[in-house]
Amino acid sequence: MANREPIGVIGTGYVGLVTAAGFAELGSDVWCVDIDAEKIAGLNRGEIPIHEPGLNEVIERNRERLKFTTELGPALEHARLLFVAVGTPPTHSGDADLSAVNAVVSAMPASDRHALVMKSTVPVGTGATVKRKFAEQAKGFSYVSCPEFLKEGSAIADFLNPDRVVVGDDGDWAGDAVAELYAPLGAPLVRTDIASAEMVKLASNAFLATKISFINEIANVCEETGADVVEVAKGMGLDSRIGTAFLRPGIGFGGSCFPKDVSALKQLAGNSGYHFQLLNSVIEVNELQKRRVVAKLEKHLGTLVGKRIALLGLAFKPDTDDMREASSLVLAARLQAAGAEVVAFDPIAEEAASGMLKGVEMAGNAAETFDGADAAVLVTEWSEFNDIDWQAASDSMRGNVVIDGRNHLDGDALRNLGLVYEGVGRGGSAA
């Protein structure tokens, strides 16, 4: 690990922290910069602001290599590569909000020995715009697009064992340096132009989201025809051209990437004069999928006025506390609008969710959600829900309906306890 390139990371959110920790693990000294003084103070005390398995351990193991500061100067002094990992949330128009990216660009001094390396997900054309600004201001900065492909819940493993590394650049020293940084990982390298690298990120997430919406559509047809989507997906996935990944039906995708990137690509196409019809359907199917849970509850319970509904899990996926675009937000709001009382439990995301779920009662554990409940809905397939005592749950419930929004539970076992079980797309012999 000798003579590793030192780097700077601007932004200590999810992508920034994982990127910094990963490069520190590979042996680089890393200067992490953020405008949030309170967050930086917490990081210097060893407080990690996000839940990501393994991240605390990697940061602690490499604490001597990681420097956290609100000042840009030390990063510029010690590192020539500055990785940008600031937020680019969607605006009301659907475009990406690039104000944080633009602030970073404006903060750069004139230098011909530094490069910005864009980790943030940005629209295609952002690199060209940044390069033009650098040229107009005679700053001399180089620019590299190096999109991230981290999955929340397995981000450290994804960083250290990537499927590929994409480097978009002008063929100069900066692209070479970024490629060299990632070389020890032995991943396939896609060295391309900046616009193509930007598109790889958006297209990848849009395609995965399309697979999810497709299998959810198949699940809905299975419910009407008596087929079992789990068996259908198994049969489909064994075709090497299709594969099993992301063929798991449920109540829709969420999180910080898929909804934002699908909308961003749709918006980018529209701004360019092209109507991306497929992505319109992907978005529509995903929204409707969440609402189908309400229809299933009404099928079994009739009116939901005064009914008590338990939600198991709130985060958009297991092993994260991320509530961005979580299905639970839509589901809880729809249930309350229909007159139901909602009680919920999540092993990690309660604090993140509490300010977003108005009027939802938070239980102390999974067992408490069942007390007096007319129905329970599995929203997030946390592994600890595998250990639920369903006999005790059945005894404490007022009703007996279980909606498995992730096809995660043993339907036959629940039916044997006298519970009414319904999964997603399991019109056949659901198990």
Active site residues: 257
> By the 8 A CB rule, do 384 and 306 touch?
no
Which residue bears the tokens 């958009």?
316
Q: Which residues pair with 167 in a beta bridge?
A: 191
Cα–Cα distance between 207 and 124 in angstroms, integer?
Answer: 16
Q: Is 89 exposed, middle or buried (0-12, 13-18, 19+ CB in 10 A)?
A: exposed
Q: Which residues contact 145 (CB under 8 A, 6 or more apart)?
A: 117, 118, 127, 166, 167, 168, 169, 194, 197, 198
Query: 81: closest CA among 22, 126, 146?
Result: 146
Q: Which residues pair with 117 in a beta bridge?
A: 83, 144
Contacts made by residues 278-283, CB under 8 angstroms, sequence distance 24+: 278/210, 279/206, 279/210, 281/213, 282/206, 282/209, 282/210, 282/213, 283/259
Half-sphere exposure of 28 (CA within 13 A, CB side): 27
Phi, psi of 308 (to 5 degrees): -105, 120
